[in-house]
Chains A and B, each alone.
Chain A
Amino acid sequence: MDYQQVVFPYRRSADQDAATSAHHPVVVVGAGPVGLSLAIDLALQQVPVVLLDNDDRLSTGSRAICFAKRTLEIFDRLGVGSSLVNKGVSWHTGRVFLRDEPIYSFDLQPETTHERPAFINIQQYYVEGHLVERAMALPLIDLRWKSEVVAVRQQADGVTLQVQTPDGPYTLAADHVVACDGARSSVRALIGQEAKGRTFKDRFLIADVRFNDAVDFPAERWFWFDPPFHPGQSVLLHKQPDGVWRIDFQLGWDADPEEERRPERIVPRVRALLAHSAMKDALFDLEWASVYTFSCERMAHFRHGRVLFAGDAAHRVSPFGARGANSGVQDAENLAWKLAAVLQRRAGDALLASYGPEREAAADENIAHSTRATDFITPKSEVSRLFRDATLQLARDHAFARTLVNSGRLSTASTLHGSPLNTPDVDSFDSAMVPGAPALDAPLRCDGHAGWLLRQLGQGTFTALVFDGQQASAALQSLRQAADGVAPLHTLLVATHPEARAHGARTLVDSSGLIQRRFDGTPDTAYLLRPDQHVCARWRRVSVEAASAALRRALALH
């Protein structure tokens, strides 16, 4: 299926003939990776969604291509992980070159005992295509193409949207609207808000190059500073599916974007890159090219009453680090369970209010990393360039300098430090699984089959993860009691042998001992995980009172 050619038919909605504005609990604006992920997550939690897109096609060009492990774990939960990983190009190694000499390499996944790789490369239109197919299979999602939001009016009890279609305008009423309509969000402009930050005065040519024959080249991220084939500038190379390679050429601020997009300008650059390799005579086609200027910016607040913002509509980063789409999908995951809890009356407005601060903090982390990388890649003063080049040269001979070389700090999921939904540790733990951290995956056996920990967590529910011991049953009982009437709770027992049982929990056999190691899971240790798989509390010995307080805190119930 060529996802770049598919056109989705416009269909008139029954809402367009309604006597008064049709009402829906949630309207999501923008069917890109973030809007689609949010809609699917909501539907899986039994929330009906209207998803509006102003167009009738998927992305043109590869655009966002690096999808991080955490995003793949979210996609697994949404039901598209395996199909995307099978199509995508997995990678975990990056190499950095100065001129033509390798100076540094990094491995993003030193431990291979996770289901998903550090990254896959796959064109954005594949991600959107698979998400759209998934969405179309979920009856709770009403996906409306060629539907553009042209007015937003917010009142105390709801939001009214005016939607323009080929058949003319109509109005919709919603309890909540989530804008996932990208960097030039019209919903953001319509409510009079802006994203503020910094633009980097430089230009980059992004090209998708398709080779006719198979290319014998490793699936690694290669970054050059000042290569002989593009002197004084940077180049980034990624392998994509279908024999397509993504090449980013730094052009400098004085480059003419219209001129540089012309094939006559691009082909020689690609030829020069290939010239000293076995590929020097390879035939290729230019599939797509664009010239970008990058910015790091965000809205001050991601929530404005009943209108919330996710993805590029809320925050934008330069791409070195792959923190754009990845953080957007993480925004969607953070928001979906909270909206579901509020709409299903398990929580109040205070829970929805936690979305902004949690994801604004994550955006700041992503902006900081992306800004530092962009400063290193495009130094903006003589002295900045002096230090940058000094660092690169020292990196050849000295290990410390390699840690300063910044061609992009690749995306990792944010730990939600300091979130009010976290219950601070009262016990001592030797584990990175602190309150606020996304749960780490690990191999296991369950019901006689090999499997993975994250696949066993509750779908859209809280999860109690208890390590087998004398008090494990009591721990599970306390957690169940705390959850009774408050929120659905999925319970898991981590044990060393399959016959272990405790209070109705599913038994997971920690065959490699890695669950115990990663979670510092001494006997009777209990973890409480949110529906988005982030830790919200953990104990060595959990009482009903402690479990209840933690669960209520995670739901912002006071």
Chain B
Amino acid sequence: MPLNTAPHFEAADAFYEALIDAHRDLSTAQSHELNAKLVLLLANQVGESAALNEALAAARASVLRSGTETKESR
């Protein structure tokens, strides 16, 4: 499996703080924009199609399982 979901952070807690901090003082719309741009920047860093496709599939599967409001239920 090309996507590595075993622990791989150089410094996990530091990253987590930096991620939240990157959003400080941003509106919700700005935060969505930041997330989209971060996805694109990191996707290019990963580069390999198999790993990217696995990541997309894993994320989508998680969304569908999480119970978040769907389009129809609104």
- B44 adjacent to A393 (CB under 8 Å): no
> 1/0 per position for B31-66, CB-CB distance to A under 8 A?
011001101110010000000000000000000000
A-B contact pairs, 23 of them (CB 8 A): A386-B32, A386-B33, A386-B36, A387-B36, A387-B39, A387-B40, A389-B33, A390-B33, A390-B36, A390-B37, A390-B40, A391-B40, A393-B37, A394-B37, A394-B40, A394-B41, A398-B41, A400-B40, A400-B41, A400-B44, A401-B40, A401-B44, A404-B40
Give the interface SS of chain A, mostly helix, strand, loop or mixed.
Answer: helix
Tell me the minimal C-beta distance from B14 to chain A in angstroms: 24
CA distance A389 to B37 in the complex (A): 9
Distance in angstroms between the alpha carbons of A390 and B32 in the assembled complex: 10
What B residues does A386 contact at CB under 8 A? 32-33, 36
On chain B, the residues within 8 Å of A394 by CB distance are 37, 40-41
Q: In the complex, which residue of chain B has the Cβ closest to the Cβ of A386?
A: B36
Beyond contacts A386-B32, A401-B40, A401-B44: 12 other A-B pairs, Cβ-Cβ < 8 A, are A387-B39, A390-B33, A390-B37, A390-B40, A391-B40, A393-B37, A394-B37, A394-B40, A394-B41, A398-B41, A400-B40, A400-B41
Main secondary structure on chain B at its contact with chain A? Answer: helix
Interface size class of B (residues with CB under 8 A): under 10
Closest residue of chain B to A388 (Cβ to Cβ) is: B36
Nearest residue, chain A, Cβ from B44 = A400
List of A residues within 8 angstroms of B36 by Cβ: 386-387, 390
Closest CB in chain A relative to B61 CB, distance in Å:
18
A120 to B69, CA, bound (A): 51
Tell me the number of A-to-B contacts counted with CB atoms below 8 Å.
23
A401 CB contacts on chain B under 8 angstroms: 40, 44
**Smallest Cβ-Cβ distance to A393: which chain B residue:** B37
Report the Cα distance A400→B40, complex, angstroms. 9
Which of A390, A391, A393, A394 has its CB near the most chain B CB atoms (within 10 A)?
Answer: A390
A401 and B32 CA atoms in complex are apart in Å by 18
Q: How far is the CA of A387 from the CA of B36 in the complex (A)?
A: 6
Nearest B-chain residue to A390, judged by Cβ: B36
Which chain B residues border A389 with CB–CB below 8 Å? 33
A387 to B39, CA, bound (A): 9
**Contact pattern, B 4-33, Cβ under 8 Å of A = 1, otherwise 0:** 000000000000000000000000000011
Residues in A neighbouring B32, C-beta threshold 8 A? 386
Hey, which chain B residues are within 8 Å of A398, CB to CB? 41
Q: B-side interface residues toward A, CB under 8 Å?
A: 32-33, 36-37, 39-41, 44
Smallest Cβ distance from A441 to chain B, in angstroms? 32
Which residue on chain A has the smallest CB distance to residue B34?
A390
Rounded to whole angstroms, the CA-CA distance of A391 and B43 in the bound complex is: 12
- Across the interface, name the chain B residue whose C-beta is closest to A401: B40
**Per-residue interface assignment for chain A, residues 393 to 436, with 1 indicating a CB less than 8 Å from any chain B CB and 0 otherwise:** 11000101100100000000000000000000000000000000
C-alpha spacing A386/B32, complex, angstroms? 8
Interface residues in A361-394 by Cβ distance below 8 A to B read 386-387, 389-391, 393-394
Query: In the complex, A400→B37 CA distance in Å?
Result: 12
Most interface-central of B32, B39, B44 (chain A CB within 10 A): B44
Closest 6 pairs between A and B when the two form their complex, measured CB to CB:
A390-B36, A400-B44, A390-B37, A386-B36, A387-B36, A394-B37
Chain B nearest CB from A379 CB (Å) reads 12
**Minimum CB–CB distance for A390 against chain B, Å:** 4
Distance to closest chain A CB from B38 (angstroms): 9
Write the nearest CB–CB distance from B27 to chain A, whole angstroms. 14
A43 to chain B, nearest CB (A): 46
Q: Chain A residues with Cβ under 8 A from B41's Cβ?
A: 394, 398, 400
On chain A, the residues within 8 Å of B39 by CB distance are 387
Q: How far is the CB of A101 from chain B (nearest CB, A)?
A: 17
The distance in angstroms between the C-alpha atoms of A401 and B37, with both chains bound, is 10
Alpha-carbon gap, A387 to B33, bound state (A): 8
Write the chain B residue with the least CB distance to A404.
B40
A257 to chain B, nearest CB (A): 29
Chain B contacts of A390 at CB under 8 A?
33, 36-37, 40
Closest to B45 in A: A400
Q: How many Å lie between the Cα of A400 and that of B39 in the bound state?
A: 13
Smallest beta-carbon distance A137→chain B, Å:
51
How many Å lie between the Cα of A398 and that of B38 in the bound state? Answer: 13
Report how far A394 CA is from B33 CA in the complex, Å: 11
Q: List chain B residues, Cβ under 8 A from A400.
A: 40-41, 44
B66 CB, min distance to chain A CBs, angstroms: 17
B41 to chain A, nearest CB (A): 7
Q: How many Å from the CB of B9 to the closest CB on chain A?
A: 23
Chain A residues in 8 Å Cβ range of B37: 390, 393-394
Chain A neighbourhood of B40, CB < 8 A = 387, 390-391, 394, 400-401, 404
A388 to B: closest C-beta gap in Å: 9
- Docked Cα-Cα span, A390 to B33, in Å, equals 7
Chain A: minimal CB distance from B28 (Å): 12
CA gap between A401 and B44 in the complex, in Å = 9
In the assembled complex, the Cα of A398 lies from the Cα of B40 at a distance in Å of: 11
Q: List which A103-118 residues lie within 8 A (CB) of chain B.
A: none
Most B CB contacts (10 A, CB to CB) among A386, A389, A404 go to: A386
Residues of A within 8 A of B33 (CB): 386, 389-390
Complex: A386 Cα to B35 Cα, angstroms: 10
Complex alpha-carbon distance, A401 and B36, angstroms? 12
